[in-house]
């Protein structure tokens, strides 16, 4: 099993590309935009929340 990190080519979401794990597919879909991502080896895609985002998160304050 190998892993690499990279963006989704469609929506630019941070993804973990896990190659050779159970549930791998030659046509995985991005968990965010649901578009098919082309890969060379059977891969399982997972959203990568371990890295900081380039923009600060949007905070919504509850109105009184």
Per-residue pLDDT of the chain (64 residues; tens, 9 = 90+): 889 999 999 999 999 999 998 889 999 999 999 999 999 999 999 998 887 666 666 677 877 5
Contact between 17 and 9 (Cβ < 8 Å):
no
What pLDDT is recorded for position 63? Answer: 72
Entry pTM:
0.72
What pLDDT is recorded for position 23? Answer: 85
What pLDDT is recorded for position 61? Answer: 80
Query: Domain ranges in the chain?
Result: 2-47
What pLDDT is recorded for position 54? Answer: 65
Please, what's the b/e burial string for 7-30 (b: 16 or more CB within 10 A of its CB; e: otherwise)? ebeeeeebbbbbeeeeebeeebeb
């Amino acid at each position: 099993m190998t892993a690499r990190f990279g963006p989704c080519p469609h929506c630019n979401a941070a993804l973990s590309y896990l190659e050779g794990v159970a549930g791998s597919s030659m046509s995985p879909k991005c968990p965010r935009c649901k578009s098919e991502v082309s890969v060379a080896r059977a891969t399982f895609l997972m959203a990568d929340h371990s890295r900081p985002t380039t923009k600060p998160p949007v905070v919504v304050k509850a109105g009184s």
